[in-house]
């Protein structure tokens, strides 16, 4: 690595703080083991996990330790099909990406306008949003939309149809924000809608977590399908321990660590273990000033916020995948078809590349229940059977069964916390 504009001292500092990565395919029979060690800084754990999730890797196990001024993380990863990583080019890409987390990683959006929206969710809302953008001659290049607890957050990257570049007309931007704010308010907005336009560079999914957290989507989150979260204090070492038991899924660790980081907590130790379709996670955390969680109210807030972070990506419904030639107004037309046929989009991932639109929609009926199969077939024929394909989204939680299982495990999780504290040398006895 060359740094022609830096002096020798600056180069030394970079070498000392650049993470060192070791990849081992022999030590584990069913996963590739990645070891990362580096000088510790706030947020570097999240950056490393962000790299792994952006590379579509599944984290099966993890051991995290970052006491003092150093951290060491061990991840057992596979591809999304559960296979070890053997392609040398893939392994090289992983190593290069992890070694760059010291410098931060963000997707470049040069030439695009970033539009952020939050408000009260309702059936047909996205159809109205994309209709406004289409009427204003704005082209959606990339977007992600999440809904949770009757709230919606959307991050949309736009270009101007006329120029093909970012939207720079201040009058047009002001008109766009005003129209979208009115759409988001609707007739029965329970909180204030928010819109903002910028040219900032950001990680889309992390930003969506921040937007929904700021919008307090975790309020009133105590429904029966929540994952099990337990917060305990071990004052002997001034740690708070967060234990999570839920169904395993892709990006679970990212969602949890993202929330802890944005809430201002530092993860000093952590363990992640998955078995079958279940996941158990433990985090030993403190505030930025080194103190543990100090009130019952704060414990409950952590529980609600982590449960919300896990559930935001757990939209239930039917997954529809659209792959077709991109054209102006395509997204508005598709969303209008969904709305006119009583389908509600609860999550969306929109992307365009080389003239092709590759979009994923998670849809339910107007009441939030599974959409009728005949209705889905009707919509597919209107949009194009060969372009719009169906994949059922598995249920992430199983209401009563999940809750009863979590309740039955409370004592075993408590014992596991104590055992891990003992193994880490943080308490004198695990009994």
Model pLDDT for residues 276-326, shown as the tens digit of each residue: 889 999 999 999 999 999 999 999 999 999 999 999 987 678 999 999 999
* Residue pointed to by tokens 């989204």: 393
Listed residue (329, 319, 304) closest to 227, CA to CA: 304
Pairwise CA distance, residues 208 & 205, whole Å: 5
% of residues, the chain, pLDDT over 90? 60
pLDDT score recorded for residue 411: 46
Pairwise CA distance, residues 317 & 369, whole Å: 7
- Interior CA angle at 400 toward 344 and 300, to 5°? 85
DSSP class per residue in 292-345: ----HHHHHHHHHHHHHHHHHT---SEEEEEEEE--TTHHHHHHHHHHHTTEEE
pLDDT score recorded for residue 69: 76
Identify the residue with better confidence: 77 or 370.
77
Pairwise CA distance, residues 270 & 260, whole Å: 12
In this structure, are strands 151-160 and 138-148 parallel, antiparallel, or unpaired? antiparallel
- Asked, colleague to colleague, whether 16-103 and 228-313+399-423 share their fold, the answer is yes
Pairwise CA distance, residues 327 & 331, whole Å: 9
pLDDT score recorded for residue 308: 95
User: 314 and 396 in contact (C-beta within 8 Å)?
Assistant: yes
Q: What are the residues whose beta carbons fall under 8 Å from the beta carbon of 27, sequence distance 6 or more?
A: 33
Model pLDDT for residues 211-229, shown as the tens digit of each residue: 999 999 998 755 556 799 9
pLDDT score recorded for residue 431: 47
Three-class SS state of 167? coil
Model pLDDT for residues 251-267, shown as the tens digit of each residue: 999 999 999 999 999 99
Per the prediction, the chain carries an average pLDDT of 84
In this structure, are strands 356-365 and 194-198 parallel, antiparallel, or unpaired? unpaired
DSSP state of 111: T
- On whether the 113-164+315-392 domain is CATH 3.30.70.260, my answer is yes
Pair of tokens at residue 147: 């809904």
Model pLDDT for residues 314-358, shown as the tens digit of each residue: 767 899 999 999 998 999 999 999 999 999 999 999 999 999 999
Q: What fold does the segment set 16-103 form as a domain?
A: Alpha-Beta Plaits (3.30.70)
- Backbone φ, ψ for residue 301 (5° rounding): -65, -40
| Burial of residue 28, with CB atoms counted within 10 A of its CB: 0-12 exposed, 13-18 middle, 19 or more buried | middle
pLDDT score recorded for residue 399: 42
Sequence ranges of the domains in the chain: 16-103, 113-164+315-392, 228-313+399-423
Of the pLDDT bands very low, low, confident and very high (cuts 50, 70, 90), residue 408 is very low
- Interior CA angle at 216 toward 210 and 220, to 5°? 140
Model pLDDT for residues 197-208, shown as the tens digit of each residue: 877 667 899 999
User: 368 and 405 in contact (C-beta within 8 Å)?
Assistant: no
Model pLDDT for residues 358-404, shown as the tens digit of each residue: 999 999 998 888 888 999 999 999 999 999 999 875 444 344 444 44
In CATH, what number does 228-313+399-423 get? 3.30.70.260
């Amino acid at each position: 690595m060359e740094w022609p504009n830096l002096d020798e001292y600056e180069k030394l500092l970079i070498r000392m703080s650049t993470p060192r990565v070791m990849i081992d395919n022999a030590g584990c029979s069913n996963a590739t083991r990645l070891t990362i060690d580096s000088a510790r800084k706030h947020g570097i754990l999240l950056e490393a996990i962000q790299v792994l999730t952006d590379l579509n890797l599944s984290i099966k196990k993890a051991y995290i330790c970052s006491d003092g001024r150093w951290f060491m993380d061990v991840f057992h990863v596979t591809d999304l099909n559960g296979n070890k990583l053997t392609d040398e080019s893939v392994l090289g890409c992983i190593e290069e990406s992890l070694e760059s987390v010291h410098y931060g990683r963000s997707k470049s959006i040069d030439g695009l306008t970033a539009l952020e929206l939050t408000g009260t969710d309702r059936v047909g809302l996205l159809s109205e949003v994309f209709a406004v953008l289409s009427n204003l001659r704005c082209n959606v290049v990339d977007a992600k939309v999440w809904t949770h607890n009757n709230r919606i957050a959307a991050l949309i990257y736009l270009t101007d149809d006329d120029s093909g570049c970012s939207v720079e007309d201040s009058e047009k931007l002001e008109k766009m924000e005003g129209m979208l704010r009115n759409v988001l308010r609707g007739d029965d907005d329970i909180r204030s809608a928010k819109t903002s336009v910028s040219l900032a560079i950001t990680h889309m999914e992390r930003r969506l977590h921040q937007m929904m957290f700021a919008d307090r989507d975790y309020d009133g989150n105590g429904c029966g399908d929540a994952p099990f979260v337990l917060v305990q204090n071990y004052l002997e070492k001034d740690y708070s321990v967060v234990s999570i038991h839920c169904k395993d899924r892709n990006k679970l660790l990212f969602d949890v660590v993202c929330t802890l980081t944005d809430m201002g907590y530092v993860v000093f130790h952590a363990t992640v273990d998955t078995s079958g379709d279940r996941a158990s996670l433990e985090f030993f955390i403190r505030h930025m000033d080194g103190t543990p969680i100090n009130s019952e109210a704060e414990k409950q807030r952590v529980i609600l916020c982590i449960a919300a972070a896990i559930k935001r990506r757990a939209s239930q419904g039917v997954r529809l995948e659209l792959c077709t030639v991109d054209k102006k107004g395509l997204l508005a037309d598709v969303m209008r078809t969904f709305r006119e046929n009583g389908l509600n989009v609860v999550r969306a991932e929109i992307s365009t590349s080389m003239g092709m639109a590759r979009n994923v929609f998670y849809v339910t009926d107007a009441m939030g229940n599974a959409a009728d199969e005949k209705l889905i077939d009707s919509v597919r024929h209107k949009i194009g059977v060969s372009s719009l394909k169906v994949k059922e989204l598995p249920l992430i939680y199983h209401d009563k069964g999940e809750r009863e299982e979590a309740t039955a495990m409370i004592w075993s999780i408590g014992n596991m916390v104590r055992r891990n504290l003992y193994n880490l040398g943080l308490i004198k006895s695990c009994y």
